[in-house]
Amino acid sequence: MKTIMLVCAAGMSTSLLVTKMKKAAEAKGVEADIFAVSASDVDATLEKKDIDVLLLGPQVKFMKKQFEPKLAEKGIPIDSINMQYYGMMNGEKVLEQAFSLIDNNK
């Protein structure tokens, strides 16, 4: 089971994307724990939960440099969600992006 954390400004706008990603994972027969948190909750969430990848929503992609050192210590890949996939709420494509990052990080 892979754990995918999405980060956005308030944790709201990504909730629809989380739902679509869960449906895409189910359709592919992939077990994944997919959830969204606000940018302010990232540190607390990382302390209590092991994640495999962190994806930033377009509105917080400027925070990537801030999170990179913490995640590098833990060996967790980070990237911004593709703008087009986010705008279209394409859960399948964002799920593929997450798994690609996990696979490339091994």
Q: What count of residues does the chain have?
A: 106
CB 52 within 8 A of CB 100: no
Question: pTM for the complete prediction?
Answer: 0.94
Question: Active site residue: 8, 17, 42, 101, which one?
Answer: 8
Element (DSSP H or E) covering residue 78: strand 78-80
Spatial separation of the C-alpha atoms in residues 21 and 33, rounded to whole Å: 10
Give the residue carrying structure tokens 């909750």: 41
The total number of structural domains in the chain stands at 1
Q: Beta strand pairing status for 32-38 and 78-80?
A: unpaired
- Average pLDDT for 10-35: 91
Q: How many CB atoms lie within 10 A of CB 31?
A: 9
Looking up residue 68, the CATH number of its domain turns out to be: 3.40.50.2300
The confidence band for 10, taking pLDDT boundaries of 50, 70 and 90, is confident
The confidence band for 13, taking pLDDT boundaries of 50, 70 and 90, is confident
For the question of residue 8 being annotated catalytic, the response is yes
Range of the domain at 45: 2-104
